[in-house]
Amino acid sequence: MKEQLEAIRKSALESIAGTQAGADLEALRVKYLGKKGELTAVLKQMGSLSAELRPVMGQMANEVRASVEKAIETQSAILAEKAMEAKLDMETVDVTIPGKAVKLGHKHPMYLALDEIKDIFVGMGFTVLDGPEVELAELNFDRLNAEEGHPSRDWSDTFYFDEDSRVMLRSQTSPMQVRAMDSMPLPIRIIAPGRVYRKDEVDATHSPMFHQVEGMAIDKGITMADLKGTLNTVVKQLYGENTVTRFRPHHFPFTEPSCEMDVQCHKCGGVGCPTCKGEGWIELLGAGMIHPRVLEMAGIDPEVYSGWAFGMGLERTAMRRFKIADLRLIFENDVRFLEQF
Ligand code: DAH
């Protein structure tokens, strides 16, 4: 029996030292020490030994068990260490490999133009306002003196949310005039850029969503001369000192008198060409003196205060600023186009 035990110890220690993986080690533990293992099988023969030999063999069997257990423990630690080293090797970072460059974008040309416009007005003491695109028809129309039946209120022109035409996508930034009058102390000088929506088909000059910048000044003694002076200053800063402008009479429900401001065509210098459709002039914005009724509806006394307002299309302004021929380029966001600015 002694030889059997020695043989078990020898073969166990050898095979344990030769294992490469934790699973193999576990298999060996079962093979030697398990319930049906080799050592257990030997111990089961103890009953046939003489009373003197039994304790001697018992002690020896215990020693073999202890040394096999110890060997498994030692080998297990060695394998864990090896596994850790292999993992660290795999995860080594090669700091000499060139990195992937992050491509930075830049501002859209229309927002570049808007930044310029904001800078110019802020420099003149105006506050920039932001307002909701989902607007009450009351503010978009009624409070701006465009009563029931005004053509711009038609369902074929305006995106309404409800049957009784009370909530809509704003069709102009002009309701921001009303919001400013309702919430700000006088005098007021504001601009309000943002998206507006109309039921237009897409073509070279139309889109169902576009951008406007609204402007308004209310104070004592404001006249049409202030309107012309301010807008001429802005346009010259935006398009250059030599820009020629003209003001034409027009009609808007919320201003009286009303006008449109044109700039002389930058392509032909006023002679007439395809860019200005042969007119020599390009329409830039609508403006006028705020209608007394609009001031009254906001609780402002038109005998004491007066004001001017304007609304300009931002896409058109940017198109002129950067000499872009087709409105669709502004919305398509083709990087080959956008990269040029
Ligand atoms: N809201 C007008 C439009 O959408 C533009 C406009 C004209 C705004 C005259 C004004 C204004 O503030 O005074 O065409």
Indicate if ligand 1 lies below 6 Å from the C-beta of 174. yes
Which band of pLDDT confidence, cut at 50, 70 and 90, is reported for residue 23?
A: confident
Q: What b/e readout covers 114-138, taking b as 16+ CB neighbours within 10 angstroms? A: bebbbebbeeeebeebebeeebbbe
| Strand bridging mode 127-128 / 188-197 | parallel
| pLDDT recorded at residue 286 | 97
What token pair was written down for 140?
A: 């978009």
Distance (Å) from CA 325 to ligand 1 centroid: 24
pLDDT (tens digit per residue) in 44-63 = 888 888 888 888 888 888 88
Q: Is the pLDDT of residue 21 over 90?
A: no
Q: DSSP states of 190-204 as a string?
A: EEEEEEEE-----SS
| pLDDT recorded at residue 120 | 97
Peptide bond into 257 cis (omega under 30): yes
Residue nearest to atom 9 of ligand 1 (CA): 287
Which is the closest atom of ligand 1 to the Cα of 288? Answer: 13
pLDDT (tens digit per residue) in 276-291 = 889 999 899 999 999 9
Interatomic CA distance for residues 299 and 291, integer angstroms = 13
| pLDDT recorded at residue 162 | 94
Contact 224, 257 (CB under 8 A): yes
Say what percent of the chain tops pLDDT 90.
Answer: 55
Domain boundaries, given as residue ranges, for the chain = 2-91, 109-338
Interatomic CA distance for residues 319 and 211, integer angstroms = 12
Indicate if ligand 1 lies below 6 Å from the C-beta of 213. no
| pLDDT recorded at residue 226 | 97
Average pLDDT over residues 228-254: 95
Average pLDDT over residues 92-111: 89
Residues 6 or more apart whose Cβ sits within 8 Å of residue 80: 22
Indicate if ligand 1 lies below 6 Å from the C-beta of 260. no
Q: Is the pLDDT of residue 91 over 80?
A: yes
Note the pTM of the prediction, 2 decimals. 0.71
Indicate if ligand 1 lies below 6 Å from the C-beta of 140. no
| pLDDT recorded at residue 249 | 98
Which band of pLDDT confidence, cut at 50, 70 and 90, is reported for residue 137?
A: very high
Spell out the alpha helix ranges (H) of 91-174: 109-123, 137-140
| pLDDT recorded at residue 260 | 98
pLDDT (tens digit per residue) in 159-203 = 999 999 999 999 999 999 999 999 999 999 999 999 999 999 988
Which is the closest atom of ligand 1 to the Cα of 196? Answer: 4
Q: Is the pLDDT of residue 267 over 80?
A: no
Spell out the alpha helix ranges (H) of 210-249: 224-239
Of residues 193, 211, 213, 222, the one with CA closest to residue 290: 222
SS3 247: strand
Largest CA distance in the chain: 130
Which of 254, 295, 312, 314 is the pocket-test mutation for ligand 1 (most atoms within 8 Å of CB)? 254
Which band of pLDDT confidence, cut at 50, 70 and 90, is reported for residue 133?
A: very high
Interatomic CA distance for residues 283 and 296, integer angstroms = 30
What's the Cα-to-Cα distance from 123 to each of 117, 184, 220, 222, 283, rounded to whole Å? 10, 20, 21, 19, 25
Interatomic CA distance for residues 170 and 161, integer angstroms = 11
Indicate if ligand 1 lies below 6 Å from the C-beta of 287. yes
Q: What helix, strand, coil percent values describe the chain, rounded to 5? A: 45, 20, 35
Rounded mean pLDDT of the chain? 92
C-alpha atoms less than 13 angstroms from C-alpha of 298 in its C-beta half-sphere: 29
Indicate if ligand 1 lies below 6 Å from the C-beta of 255. yes
Indicate if ligand 1 lies below 6 Å from the C-beta of 310. yes
Of residues 13, 15, 12, 17, the one with CA closest to residue 77: 17
CATH tag for 109-338 (out of 2.30.30.180, 3.40.50.150, 3.50.50.60, 3.30.930.10): 3.30.930.10
Contact 317, 284 (CB under 8 A): yes
Distance (Å) from CA 304 to ligand 1 centroid: 23
